[in-house]
Amino acid sequence: MEILVCVKRVPDTAENEIAVNASGSDIVRDDVVYSVNEWDNYAVEEAIQIRDRVGGSVTVVTVGDADSEEILRREMAMGADNGMLLSDPAFAGSDGQGIASIIKGVVDQGKYDLVLTGALADDGAGQVGGMLAALLDWPYASVVNKIETGDGKLTVGREVEGGNQEINEIALPCVLSIQTGINEPRYVGIRGIRKVASVEIPCKGKDACGMPAATFGAASAKVKKLNYFVPELGAGAEMLGGSLDEQVEKVVELLKAKGGLR
Amino acid sequence: MSEIFAYILHKNGKADDTAMELVAAAKKVDPAVPVTALVLGSAADADAVAGQAANHYKKVWKVADAALSHPNAELIRPVLQKILPPGAILLMPTDSFGMDLGPGLAVKMGGAYLADVVNLHGVNAGKLVADRQEYSGQVYVKVEADVSAGAVITCRPGAFAAEEAGGAGGAVEDKTAAALPLPAVKRTFVKVVAAEVGDVDITKSEVLLSVGRGIESEDNLPVAFDLAKAMGADVSCSRPIVDAKWMEKSRQVGTSGQTVKPKVYMAMGISGAFQHLGGLKGNPFILAVNKNPKAPIFQVADVGVVGNILEFMPALQEKIEEGK
């Protein structure tokens, strides 16, 4: 099976406190630690496991700047066969559909049976996979937490409300968005990274991606970001100061009062 | 912009609570534009739910067919494409179905897609301004969408105050004929596998000690279980702990896990993403400890401590045991 996995380099919310910059135009990017989007990492692991079971290859692709190459290399160190960077100043300002359009160009040029994305990324929209499927006219399933391969089709589990799992059969080729927890992504050591350090990663720009320029970039975007902010949300929590000993003493008092100690 | 539509989720013949939230959301798009509720389902479900929706919406469209008894976005997308007028704005809740249907429908209808909005500021000259969250809720972003050719907007459950008043006395119009014949689809629903039942039923717990990513390692879990024992609490967790396979899914609090209603909820190293908070009901007393002072959990907690849970929990356990 030929599998394409769409990945994204994002500020790691587990490692960073995200703050809004002075003008509100963006988050503060100084000293931010970046990593591969967590959901995408599960998608790459799943693709590698499918390839190892049924054969084929795994290609990781990202739309981003030159810095994004590092995450492609990381996912190749995990076991992806190929990487592809889609980078061009003309891609800047694309909305979800613009990104989906750029990736569609790559899918059209390849012979993929399956395209995976993460179910969500840093912007919390979860949109590129579903849009790509619509542009390709391929079937789509979101928040997938189980994949079994079959003849010309897959059996997939979707994570639905209440911890239930919705089982579907879906014809290939298709697009799936992958939920965290579907597998246990393998650890990538420094040696693995070194092995792929000198591998050539092809880069495609606006012409090579093969899609009309009107389908991506700021001019095509139906959704534009105006400004970032952090709202005043009332008082919030009463924050306990003082030493750790003073804090836990106060917490014991509160727990007693609220019925939290039994 | 032609009309606003609200997609009504339903289960076992009963409209979801979000049906009333979308009434409020629609008013925030444009109070002057009429809103039509969309109810798709089996004949029995569509009838029952359309009746309920008519209490809150002046117009209700129903599409009834046995093939719609389970919501399959791959089937419902082309049906909506067929029956919705050009330029329609469709509101639906952010959930596993909205994520399945929304992005592709927006593309197919040539409209904008706005995912998981938490507030709406109205349409002006074809542009709709909305608030969304990014980075797991740590920051908000105001966005402007060109909705002149229509839009699909998923609305965060709970973000819009439900309009429970009712009494709309709406008229139900059967649009089934317009939807037929249903198209062939390449994805078929097989079954729903119910969540596994674990050894502890956290939905019945009065005191929950809930751990998140801040526990750092599986080896640290005894720190939480020991404190819980001293408190007489049960241990629950947030999604990353289950993803890492450190605890069973049955202990996960959140929209994709269990809905709990304790009296006291101790959020230890939990950032407080909305998917987690969505599983926390009944207005418990919330105490949060997190090393990130900007963690969204502090917006909803009653009492907060900025600190390392691996230091806080043993210290609290010691203090509790001193007092016994």
**Contacts of residue A240 in chain B, CB cutoff 8 Å?**
303-305
- Residue B215 burial (CB count, 10 A): 25
**Contacts of residue B152 in chain A, CB cutoff 8 Å?**
none
Amino acid B224: pLDDT? 98
Residues 6+ apart with CB under 8 A from A125: A96, B113, B115, B116, B132
**Is B201 part of the contact surface with chain A (CB cutoff 8 Å)?**
no
Hey, are the CB atoms on B107 and A135 less than 8 Å from each other? yes
Given a contact cutoff of 8 angstroms between Cβ atoms, the answer to whether B147 and B88 are in contact is no
Question: Per-residue DSSP letters for A158-218?
Answer: EE-GGG-EEEEEEESSEEEEEPTTSS-PPP--HHHHHHTTT----EE-TTTT-S-GGGSSG
Number of Cβ pairs < 8 A linking chain A and chain B? 282
The yes-or-no verdict on residue A9 having pLDDT over 90 is yes
Q: How far is it, in rounded angstroms, from Cα A169 to Cα B189?
A: 7
**Is A58 part of the contact surface with chain B (CB cutoff 8 Å)?**
no
Given a contact cutoff of 8 angstroms between Cβ atoms, the answer to whether B210 and B266 are in contact is yes
Average pLDDT over residues B174-180: 97
> Strands B303-306 and B285-290: what pairing?
parallel
Residue A233 pLDDT class (50, 70, 90 cuts): low
The yes-or-no verdict on residue A76 having pLDDT over 80 is yes
pLDDT tens per residue, range A97-152: 999 999 999 999 999 999 999 999 999 999 999 999 999 999 999 999 999 999 99
Hey, are the CB atoms on A139 and B185 less than 8 Å from each other? yes
Nearest by CB to A224, from B144, B298, B318: name it.
B144
Residue-level length of chain B: 324
**Contacts of residue A158 in chain B, CB cutoff 8 Å?**
96, 100
Return the closest-CA partner of residue B163 out of B36, B38, B7, B24.
Answer: B24
Q: How far is it, in rounded angstroms, from Cα B24 to Cα B159?
A: 10
Residue B1 pLDDT class (50, 70, 90 cuts): low
Scanning B207-266 for CB atoms below 8 A from A yields: 207, 213, 231-233, 239-240, 242-245, 249-250, 252, 255-259, 263-264, 266
The yes-or-no verdict on residue B196 having pLDDT over 90 is no
Distances (CA, A) of B236 to B208, B225, B316: 6, 10, 18
Given a contact cutoff of 8 angstroms between Cβ atoms, the answer to whether B243 and A120 are in contact is no
CA B130 to chain centre: 18
Hey, are the CB atoms on A131 and B113 less than 8 Å from each other? yes
More confident residue, B138 or B193: B193
Is the four-CA dihedral A34, A40, A46, A49 of positive or negative sign? negative
Among the residue ranges A12-16, A166-170, A242-246, A254-258, the one predicted with the least confidence is: A12-16
More confident residue, B198 or B24: B24
More confident residue, B118 or B137: B118
**Contacts of residue A135 in chain B, CB cutoff 8 Å?**
107
Q: How far is it, in rounded angstroms, from Cα A109 to Cα B136?
A: 35
Average pLDDT over residues A189-200: 92
* Minimal-distance CA residue of chain B relative to A146: B193
> What's the whole-model pTM score?
0.93
Amino acid B94: pLDDT? 96
Best of B12, B69, B205, B303 to disrupt the A interface by mutation (most A CBs within 10 Å)? B303
Residues 6+ apart with CB under 8 A from A229: A20, A24, B139, B140, B141, B142
Given a contact cutoff of 8 angstroms between Cβ atoms, the answer to whether B68 and B77 are in contact is no
Q: How far is it, in rounded angstroms, from Cα B178 to Cα A258?
A: 57
Scanning B283-302 for CB atoms below 8 A from A yields: 285-288, 292-294, 298-302
Specify the amino acid at residue B208: L
- DSSP 3-state assignment of A35? strand
The yes-or-no verdict on residue A15 having pLDDT over 80 is no
The yes-or-no verdict on residue B282 having pLDDT over 60 is yes
How much of chain A, in percent, has pLDDT values that exceed 90? 91
Nearest by CB to A262, from B129, B207, B258: name it.
B207
The yes-or-no verdict on residue B166 having pLDDT over 80 is yes
Hey, are the CB atoms on B115 and A231 less than 8 Å from each other? no
Given a contact cutoff of 8 angstroms between Cβ atoms, the answer to whether A177 and A129 are in contact is yes
> Strands B234-237 and B207-211: what pairing?
parallel
Q: What is the edge-to-edge ordering of all strands in the sheet holding B234-237?
A: A238-239, B303-306, B285-290, B264-268, B207-211, B234-237
Hey, are the CB atoms on B250 and A249 less than 8 Å from each other? no
Residue B197 pLDDT class (50, 70, 90 cuts): confident
- Residue A13 burial (CB count, 10 A): 21
The yes-or-no verdict on residue B2 having pLDDT over 80 is no
Q: Give backbone dihedrals phi and psi of A254, rounded to 5 degrees, phi first.
A: -65, -45
